[in-house]
Amino acid sequence: MQVTEYGFINTCLKSLVIERFGEETWEKLRLMAGVQETFMTYEIYDDLITLRLVQEACKMLDVSSEVVLKLFGEYFFSFCKMSGYDTMLRTLGGNLLEFIENLDALHSYLALSYEAMNAPSFRVERMDDGRILLHYYSDRKGLYHIVPGIIEAVAKDFFDSEVTMTILNQSEEDERTGKKEHVVFHMVQKEKVAKRKAQIGSEEEIQTEKENKEETIKRMKARYANMQLCPRKRSPWEIVRSIVMLGQGNLRQSFTPSYPKRLWIDEQAFCNAFPFHIVFDQNLVVKHTGVNIQKFVPGLQTSGIRLDEYFTIVHPEVTCNIQSIKKFINSQFVLKTRREMLPEIQQNQVTLKLRGQMMWMESLNCMIYLCSPKLRSLQELEERGLHLADIAQHDTTRDLILLNQQRLAEIELSNQLERKKEELRILSRHLEIEKQKSEKLLYAMLPTHVANQLKEGKRVEAGEFKVCTILFSDVVTFTNICAACEPIQIVNMLNAMYSRFDRLTNIHTVYKVETIGDAYMVVGGVPIPTETHAERVANFALGMRIAAREVTSPITGQPIQIRVGLHTGPVLAGVVGDKMPRYCLFGDTVNTASRMESHGVPDHIHVSPITYSVLKDKGIFEIAERGEIEVKGKGLMRTYFLLKNLQKSDEQIMGLVDGETCVYQEDTEVVTDDSKEESHEDANYVQKEDKKMEEKVESEKSHASSSLQSGSSQISPDHLIQFDVTPAYDIPTDFKHLHNGLHSDSINTKFCSIL
């Protein structure tokens, strides 16, 4: 039989895990058990969900199921009180045993709202030797450890006592519905030592109060001395004593019921006053019934019929015999009519259910079942062909149906609110995911701190960076490739290349400024200053060259070649534009880095003198001198080629070695006054070098005797000075074929002014 339960149970378990162990533990437990994140209070779930959660919790916490279930039982009691059932639980019984004996009645009431609830049954057995045994019956196996947790919490909270529960027996009983777990607990209840009442006022006030009380009793005794005796022959003083004892809370112990010698009601009046009742003997033979139950089950008017011929016991799930009924005499019984025994005209209607109390009459050796129709709403009343007039006026079932009708409407409203809440939660989560995507895109376009300032509506101030290293790169013969290929082929080629480059920016922590067509611009030391800016950009350039060889030309099918240029110096940086703002770099350092790229050699990394001086001090790079070349707008410059990193392999530079990527001595460092002075000296050095080169432009002009072959991979320092340094695009008309407008004359302007 498949067992189900409402989301209230799983919500309680979720609340317990979050309160005791935190949100992260619940999320981990939920994923391990493979269950959803939230549960609707009035929605039905498979019982396996709870069992999986309990099992995974035992594994995660490395404790037994007994510990977890007992902890859940204690928390379940507190959770019920927090959920609005506090008053209902407190008024369930005057002591712990009464509380337990009325649990089945509470479950029966809750079933009005939770119709599919499959609650356990409890039975208290008082032994002759004074022991108290608690019998627990449930269709759910292995959850009986919850019971001690609940009972101990109830005893401590409501009755200020301690309870010790020991399992005496555990078995399975063959009931009508199959196997049912039956566990017997031995209960030992110990009352806590009562705290002494705090004395109020002085001893004189206490003595005065005592005298006043005695005087009041004397006056009451004198007043009722001549009162006539009551039918039970109680003296007036006994009445006074009862009143006084009532004030002291001892009426319950002193009360003795009075029974008449004969029952002053005839059979007809009794059957009308209790229209739904059945009296049957120990053989289940029906002796007499109420008038209205005969109306809906006409077969009961036949003499000698048996109870089990017309009814089945729905709750508690026991076999229909006198012994089983006596076991659960304190439980509320629910009986359902057998459809096949009803008149043919009623067989299409919904079967009638009765709910009530069984009472054993020892003198008659018979059982009386005082009951009422089990109904949840006016709709169910109508479906069974009943009317409110069929229920006795003294029967509170009338009011219960009307009140529960309103409660069912509130439950439906609560369900709708929960569904809306869940929908809003899901929408909120999706919105958060979309927000993260938008922020990720924004952070890809702008530095993080700049993007955060723009999101907050703040103005981003331009900043001056005294020293940084800038890299430019482009694809060799990109114009020819564009002329011979379809646009989608160009896009695919550039996307494959730029995706590899973007990955390298994360490995070496450099900032990607912009891409225009085949040109790629990167800076180290901006927007976060760092001492290793040149080293990072140099390693990035080496990685670029390796990554570019993995991308093939759509024309030749051969690996593409790139030219890379590096230069170090000061720059100004700031956000330009309101629509699609860009973080741009300005200054002569940008122009010089662009010249290094445009005057470079295919598949080589062209380095300026200032960048060379910085990298040389590192002692970890192999750098070859190219010699003096004429740089447009700069004159003669002695430049260099960066060949390789002497300490890092290609795999390390590409970040392909787990846990052993390029590691730098420092990650982030705020530029100090000393570093500002050093960068200022570097800038002065660059200006002096540029001035020297301009003076030599007119006097020392040299011409290259041969041009580079695009496939050359090794170049000796002795031959570098002979290379042709003519810009890639010699004829101005070539500019017209470039959809991106890139050229050595214009590339710096494009990177600085793009919006």
Percent of the chain surpassing pLDDT 70? 77
Convert the pLDDT of each residue in 660-694 to its tens digit.
555 676 654 444 344 334 334 444 443 444 444 44
pLDDT for res 203: 64
Beta strands 121-126 and 519-524, pairing class: unpaired
Q: CA-CA distance, 191 to 681, in Å (whole number)?
A: 87
Contacts of 472 (CB under 8 A, 6+ apart): 519, 520, 521, 564, 565, 593, 594, 596, 597, 598, 747
pLDDT for res 296: 86
Q: CA-CA distance, 45 to 38, in Å (whole number)?
A: 12
**Which of 153-167, 182-196, 381-395, 615-629 is the least confident region?**
182-196
Determine the 3-state secondary structure of 132 from DSSP: strand
pLDDT at 710 > cutoff 90: no
pLDDT for res 91: 84
Q: CA-CA distance, 268 to 127, in Å (whole number)?
A: 40
pLDDT at 611 > cutoff 90: yes
Kindly report the backbone phi and psi dihedral angles of residue 591, in degrees, each rounded to the nearest multiple of 5, phi listed first: -60, -45
pLDDT tier, 240 (very low <50, low <70, confident <90, very high otherwise): low
Residue type, 735: F
Convert the pLDDT of each residue in 273-294 to its tens digit.
999 999 999 999 999 999 999 9
DSSP count for the chain of H helices, then E strands? 27, 20
pLDDT tier, 63 (very low <50, low <70, confident <90, very high otherwise): confident
| Residue among 451, 453, 593 at smallest CA distance from 534 | 593
Residue pointed to by tokens 């609005």: 84
pLDDT tier, 712 (very low <50, low <70, confident <90, very high otherwise): very low
Determine the 3-state secondary structure of 482 from DSSP: helix
Q: How many CA atoms lie within 13 A of 748 on its CB side?
A: 21
Contacts of 514 (CB under 8 A, 6+ apart): 521, 582, 751, 754
| Residue among 634, 643, 653 at smallest CA distance from 727 | 634
Maximum distance among all Cα pairs of the chain, rounded to whole angstroms: 146
Residue pointed to by tokens 């409890």: 122
Q: At what angle do helices 236-247 and 203-223 cross, to 10 degrees?
A: 150
Contact (Cβ atoms closer than 8 angstroms) between residue 164 and residue 188: yes
pLDDT for res 335: 93
CA distances from 361 to 21, 72, 298, 329, 330 (A): 54, 41, 25, 12, 14
Contacts of 734 (CB under 8 A, 6+ apart): 479, 743
Contact (Cβ atoms closer than 8 angstroms) between residue 335 and residue 311: yes
- CB neighbours (10 Å) of residue 478? 22
**Which of 147-151, 334-338, 460-464, 625-629 is the least confident region?**
460-464
Burial classification of residue 629, based on how many CB atoms lie within 10 Å of its CB (0-12 exposed, 13-18 middle, 19 or more buried)? buried
Convert the pLDDT of each residue in 205-221 to its tens digit.
667 777 776 776 666 66
What predicted TM-score, i.e. pTM, was given to this entire model? 0.47
Q: How is residue 446 annotated by DSSP?
A: S
Burial classification of residue 585, based on how many CB atoms lie within 10 Å of its CB (0-12 exposed, 13-18 middle, 19 or more buried)? buried
Kindly report the backbone phi and psi dihedral angles of residue 656, in degrees, each rounded to the nearest multiple of 5, phi listed first: -100, 0
